[in-house]
């Protein structure tokens, strides 16, 4: 059985941004998921959840699957539809808490992000799906691409404000197209090629603004294009968000003493993200 410190070393040794540890599948019981980055455990991870759903679907035959998943005590449903080697995975990330960012918070973060004068739009917010992050709107996709954050200062700002990181995005086009970048040096991820949970937070923020579905492009600056689709709909309990992407099983490789790691690659989401199965224990 791996210790938590050993779990945190898995993404480093496998060359991935995160690792998701998938619990044992026992009948109709929820499958437990735990997520680790180099800096330690995360309470939630959107692209890790997509990877886990794809991994579970890859172990079954047939075209459509539904799984009950449990993360940090919350149980929810993940769905998968197979199309050849690709698996469209989606899930409900749960309720999103959103508040307007204060001028002090915005000033501290924007300075570290290197947002050019005149490129910042109003409407920055702090959103959470377990851990808070700041969503920062800028004027154009070009302004997103041109960012040159000072990561040491950004980490200090995020640590001071209790933020996971910062998600910078362009205004949606009339069909919901967005360009975004996510910086999370506080958890050991200088720039995330794709960030599903922050995209879910953006969908919740934009709910009621005429954009029921967003198609968010990320990763281009790093040479790893990624696309995430998120929708937000009114429900009896508030706004219900669905988020997902396409993924495929890349390979299974031995790791540590008897453990088996599976790399799940999402060509429209993320480069390989390690899914470690229950041979490792939990």
pLDDT digits (tens, 9 = 90+) for 90-105: 999 988 999 999 999 9
Model pLDDT for residues 216-271, shown as the tens digit of each residue:
999 999 998 889 999 998 777 778 899 998 887 776 665 554 455 555 555 454 44
- Strands in 131-220 per DSSP E: 132-137, 166-169, 177-184, 189-192, 213-218
Residue 124 has a pLDDT of 98
DSSP 211: -
Model pLDDT for residues 23-81, shown as the tens digit of each residue:
998 888 999 999 998 889 988 888 899 999 999 998 887 789 999 999 999 999 999 99
Model pLDDT for residues 137-175, shown as the tens digit of each residue:
999 999 999 999 999 999 999 999 999 999 999 999 999
Residue 277 has a pLDDT of 54
Residue 264 has a pLDDT of 58
Exposure on the CB side of residue 160, measured as CA atoms within 13 A: 13
Residue 251 has a pLDDT of 61
DSSP 10: H
Q: Between 13 and 279, whose confidence is greater? A: 13
Rounded Cα distance, 178 and 121, in Å: 15
Residue 178 near residue 169, CB atoms below 8 Å: yes
Can you list the alpha helix ranges (DSSP code H) found in 59-177? 103-113, 141-145, 151-161
Residue 275 has a pLDDT of 56
Rounded Cα distance, 217 and 199, in Å: 10
Q: Which residues pair with 259 in a beta bridge?
A: 255
User: 128 falls in which pLDDT band (50, 70, 90)?
Assistant: very high
User: 184 falls in which pLDDT band (50, 70, 90)?
Assistant: very high
Residue 182 near residue 147, CB atoms below 8 Å: no
110 pLDDT higher than 70: yes
pTM (predicted TM-score)? 0.79
214: nearest Cα among 230, 199, 225, 226: 230
22 pLDDT higher than 90: yes
Residue 255 has a pLDDT of 57
Residue 105 has a pLDDT of 97
């Amino acid at each position: 059985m791996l210790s938590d410190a050993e779990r945190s070393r898995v993404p480093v040794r496998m060359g991935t941004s995160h690792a998701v540890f998938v619990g044992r599948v026992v009948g109709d019981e929820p499958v437990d998921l735990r997520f680790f980055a180099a800096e330690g455990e995360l309470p939630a991870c959107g692209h890790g959840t997509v990877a886990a759903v794809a991994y579970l679907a890859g172990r079954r035959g047939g075209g459509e699957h539904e799984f009950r998943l449990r993360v940090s005590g919350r149980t929810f449903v993940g769905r998968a539809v197979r199309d050849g080697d690709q698996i469209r995975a989606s899930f409900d990330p749960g309720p999103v808490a959103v508040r307007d960012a204060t001028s002090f918070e915005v000033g501290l973060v924007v300075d570290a992000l290197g947002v050019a004068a005149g490129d910042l739009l109003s409407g920055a917010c702090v959103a959470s799906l377990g851990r808070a992050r700041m969503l920062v709107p800028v004027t154009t996709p070009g302004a997103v691409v041109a960012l040159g954050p000072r990561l040491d200062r950004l980490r200090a700002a995020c640590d001071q404000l209790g933020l996971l990181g910062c998600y910078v995005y362009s205004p949606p086009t009339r069909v919901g197209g967005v360009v975004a970048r996510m910086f999370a040096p506080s958890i050991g991820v200088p720039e995330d090629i794709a960030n599903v949970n922050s995209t879910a937070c953006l969908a919740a923020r934009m709910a009621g603004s005429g954009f029921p579905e967003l198609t968010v492009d990320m990763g281009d600056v790093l040479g790893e294009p990624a696309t995430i689709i998120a929708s937000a709909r009114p429900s009896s309990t508030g706004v219900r968000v669905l988020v997902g992407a396409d993924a495929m099983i890349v390979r299974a490789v031995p790791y540590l003493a008897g453990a088996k790691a599976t790399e799940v690659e999402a060509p429209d989401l993320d480069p390989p993200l390690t899914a470690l199965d229950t041979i490792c224990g939990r």
